[in-house]
Chains A and B, each alone.
Chain A
């Protein structure tokens, strides 16, 4: 079974929610969940690289920035069609991921993690430094939005639809890859690169492929975010974002289809809504994440869902059984 049952059920519920929200809730929620969807794309990408191929990457902000700034610069400075700019962003991110990824992926996992984190800081530094080109800390404004005919995707509802359609596509594509020999190669080399190598799998090549896939998804996310707000700034892409995306994946559930969405939703929505914890939200999430890492390394969302599934199963089984006799074999004379 490609997707575990609990995961599929969660995904179904999410799909339902996605459809229902714009119909029944007000514009604020449409906006919020539009944002959730965009960042979920980056989280899905991380799931491919980390969840399946075992790469500890903090590099999502790098590619989000590349995609976002490619969109911004090409569309404003060079009057490129925003859709084309988005595609260029993808090409750029894929190229960078392949070229930089190749040497960097020979590092051990924790050094790789640090290297990708360092990369995100380098990108941030360069964006701030090259202010003539990138607008520095101020950023780039007035970016032409994505449009098809009269539909303007910088408006809440069309953006929402676009984002969630892309999320669905991302899930389909990532699972299609997972079901293929590439996906199997990922899954072997994640835990047993020695076995992978002994089966003829070029471990480094497949790691690079996984990294490129995550970069592509992140790039789209970055472009969407920038196109929606028609504004690009380095704040969207700082090092913290890498940690946040990681947190989203873990809170939602690694290696699941629903996990990235659940995680993105929780981390985005809760701090805003639970204003009581408002300023404590960052710390709270960090603590929660730490607890999750220790107790539920598979991720909170899916652990909860699986737990619920187990409970339901047991309940259903017990419905059919006669009540066990209380005295059993105990002597009660």
Chain B
């Protein structure tokens, strides 16, 4: 049982990293980026391929995977998300697009490397120890410690660096962001790159202890999303709590009920949280609000910065402003 919990915690750390990626992109752009799981997958698969097919050294291959994944994140932003958002197509379609991208990346990797799951060499130095009769491997420790380090650094970055503050400004106060000359399009791009970087590191950390497969990208993205929502969307710490809970829950359900039902329970939790406590366990601030506001219009960071306007045709839900705040400030 302890072994299960530890495995759950380990995979939960990856969910936490994915959740952090969601948080960053959502805060700046209002889009749920479902390519998050693909970032995890892509770095690992690339690294693995570089080692086996191109005979790169492990560190170099890891770097290669890392860089490629960030490039993918930037490309997704520039070619897909930014054009869609700039055209006021609405956030909903952009979200769908990221889901499709996720499938596309999976299929691309499948064509490139075939369907076999891949793993990576263990991270050195290796060691192991026992806790309460259960063996804990170094790989597992690296994941947990790695996740903590990454998120601490990320949190510091967001608070203390100009770019990090720009990201937060863009989300929290659109007018100030505009006045400061922060281009929402550029900030969105940076957010995607950061999210990709975080995901990439996650992939490099987990694959030494667990096989990664191309087709797992979408499910990873979804599990990470559940973790984010459960813990409190938009909060890094929320992602950690949510990730750990979901990770452990999945392990326990798989063992004591049935692996088949694991998904049902995981997504059942998602829907329950969205409906009953959309702000999650820790409660997120403004963003992460899952419900439609009174009157039906919603505010999202990027949509609020760009000129308000109807979505093209009746395609998507709400874009444009109309939060009571803005109405009152314009007010007569």
Contact = CB atoms under 8 A, between A and B. Distances in A.
A294 B90 CA distance: 11
B317 A56 contact: yes
A181 B315 CA distance: 20
Contact of A118 (B32, B100, B267, B310): B267
B141 to A, nearest CB: 32
Given A118-B271, A254-B315, A110 B296 contact: no
B311 interface: yes
A298 B89 CA distance: 10
A111 B96 contact: no
Contact of A293 (B91, B93, B267): B93
Given A129-B258, A129-B260, A294-B80, A254 B316 contact: no
Contact of B314 (A136, A190, A243, A286): A190
Interface in B303-332: 310-318, 322
B291 A107 contact: yes
A298 B84 CA distance: 13
Contact of B264 (A53, A125, A298): A125
**Does more than half of chain B's interface fall in helix, strand or loop, or is it mixed?**
helix
A122 B268 contact: yes
Interface string A97-124: 0000001101111111111011101101
A108 B262 contact: no
A53 B314 CA distance: 7
A289 interface: yes
Contacts of A280: 111
B319 to A, nearest CB: 9
B99 interface: yes
Given A108-B318, A129-B260, A297-B89, A282 B274 contact: no
B104 A119 contact: no
Given A56-B316, A104-B271, A107-B292, A113 B92 contact: yes
A53 B296 CA distance: 13
Contacts of A282: 103, 107
Interface in A159-193: 187, 189-193
B213 to A, nearest CB: 16
Contacts of B225: 114
Contact of B296 (A115, A203, A279, A293): A203
A104 to B, nearest CB: 7
Interface residues of B, number: 58
B296 A107 contact: no
A117 B271 contact: no
A286 B318 contact: no
Given A126-B261, A189-B296, A294-B80, A255 B100 contact: no
Nearest to A56: B92
A176 B268 CA distance: 36
Nearest to B290: A111
A204 B226 CA distance: 25
Contacts of A118: 222, 226, 267, 270-271
Contacts of A254: 313, 315
A254 B79 CA distance: 22
B292 A193 contact: yes
B298 interface: yes
A108 B261 contact: no
B59 interface: no
A147 interface: no
Contacts of B271: 104, 115, 118-119, 122
Interface in A51-77: 51-56
B316 A54 contact: yes
B255 interface: no
Contacts of B289: 108
A79 interface: no
Contacts of B222: 114, 117-118, 121
A129 B261 contact: yes
A119 B267 contact: yes
* Listed residue (A109, A192, A287) with the most chain B CB atoms within 10 angstroms of its CB: A109
A106 B263 CA distance: 23
Interface in A14-49: none
Given A107-B290, A129-B258, A283-B104, A124 B97 contact: no
B92 A110 contact: yes
B108 interface: yes
A306 B308 CA distance: 28
B312 A290 contact: no
Given A54-B315, A111-B274, A246 B96 contact: yes
A124 B263 CA distance: 9
Contacts of B291: 106-108
A196 B314 contact: no
Nearest to B296: A193
B156 interface: no
Contacts of B267: 118-119, 121-122, 125
Contacts of B292: 106-108, 193
A109 B92 contact: yes
A110 B298 CA distance: 11
Contacts of A197: 295-296
Given A108-B290, A115-B270, A125-B264, A286 B95 contact: no
Given A121-B222, A280-B111, A290-B104, A298 B313 contact: yes
A244 to B, nearest CB: 10
B101 interface: yes
Q: Return the 7 tightest CB-CB contacts between A and B, nearest first.
A: A193-B296, A109-B317, A129-B260, A190-B314, A125-B263, A125-B264, A286-B104
Given A54-B316, A121-B263, A129-B264, 18 more contacts: A107-B292, A108-B290, A112-B317, A114-B222, A115-B270, A115-B274, A193-B295, A193-B296, A193-B297, A194-B296, A254-B313, A283-B104, A290-B100, A294-B79, A294-B84, A294-B97, A297-B313, A298-B315
13 contacts: A51-B314, A54-B314, A108-B317, A113-B92, A124-B263, A128-B260, A189-B296, A243-B103, A247-B100, A290-B101, A293-B97, A294-B87, A297-B312
